[in-house]
Structure 1
Amino acid sequence: MPARLRRAAPSEVEAALEAVHGGAAERADLRLLVKHFLAILEERAPGHSVEVRVPPYAAVQCIAGVRHTRGTPPAVIETDAVTWIALAAGDLTWSDALTAHRVAASGERTDLTPYLPL
């Protein structure tokens, strides 16, 4: 099971978001924001039925339902860092991300609309 993530300090999040929105984001900014927003998702949607992956930075299991313990989970969401940050910050809707094929989602409970933006 992926390790539990922790939120970043508000000042760190603000600085990293400014870098992303200004087009000057570095790998460290992306990593910080991905982990921060996944930590918030994990808090707001506790559970283990869906695995949200943002390679190469992190993954979490969330959303109540059948607990996944081994192998490939029955419900998986995968996206890149820039898309995940845009979804979490409210710059991109879930349906627009799916339509544009910026998110791969398979299995039950993989609609994150009720949890976004974070």
Structure 2
Amino acid sequence: MAVILEKDLPRGREALHQWYEAAQEVAAAASDPTQRLAVSPKLPRPVWAMAVRYSLFLLERRVPGPGVEVRVAPWGAVKILDGPESDPHNLTPPDVIELDPDVWLRLACGITAWAEEKEAGRISAVGERDDLSGLLPLVGPAR
């Protein structure tokens, strides 16, 4: 099942842009660079949900494959990258990365870096391919 419906792509794009803009404002106001790890704009829940779904869609489109599952509960999960698939008895691939929505969106928008969030203990990753730093950010000045 797709992480976002095709008819919702424009809404998702707008939600991610809205989250990015709001997060940039919050991050710019932070006096200490470590405060970027707490950036979490006050936006309606539906905006967060669509921003997460659309950003996961962008990731899946960039590096499709069955090898790594990226989960951002409660709004979505995608499988990316080539590699071993899940076995028929266990639908979970050997590599799984779990993130909270605020962590995922900070990474996807380039507010924080993978190493920062990992060091802060905000990324749960199991498997050999537990680092998405080369694929992020998905939006923002670096992309």
Q: Which of the five TM-score ranges fits, normalised by the shorter chain?
A: 0.7 to 0.9
Structure 1 runs, 4 residues or longer, greater than 4 Å off: 19-22
TM-score for the superposition, normalised by structure 1: 0.86
Matched, 1:104 2:124: yes
Bigger share in helix = 2
Matched, 1:43 2:54: no
Of 70, 80, 101 in structure 2, the residue corresponding to residue 81 of structure 1 is 101
TM-score for the superposition, normalised by structure 2: 0.73
Aligned-residue sequence identity (percent) comes to: 36
**Any residues of structure 2 matched to 1:17-28 within 5 Å, and which?**
17-20=20-23, 23-28=41-46
Matched, 1:4 2:2: yes
Unaligned runs of 5+ in 1: none
| Cα distance in 1 for residues equivalent to 2:22 and 2:136 | 21
| Deviation string, structure 1 residues 19-56 (Cα, Å, up to 9, x no partner) | 55553212111101110110011011111111000111
User: Contact 1:54 / 1:79 at 8 angstroms: preserved in 2?
Assistant: yes
Cα distance change of structure 1 residues 64 and 16 upon mapping to structure 2, 3 Å threshold: same
| Cα distance in 2 for residues equivalent to 1:15 and 1:117 | 16
Deviation at 1:4, TM superposition (A): 2.2
| Cα distance in 2 for residues equivalent to 1:69 and 1:40 | 26
Cα distance change of structure 1 residues 60 and 69 upon mapping to structure 2, 3 Å threshold: farther
* Larger gyration radius, structure 1 or structure 2: 2
User: Contact 1:19 / 1:29 at 8 angstroms: preserved in 2?
Assistant: no
User: Contact 1:20 / 1:29 at 8 angstroms: preserved in 2?
Assistant: no
Unaligned runs of 5+ in 2: 27-40, 139-143
Matched, 1:115 2:135: yes
| Cα distance in 2 for residues equivalent to 1:65 and 1:12 | 31
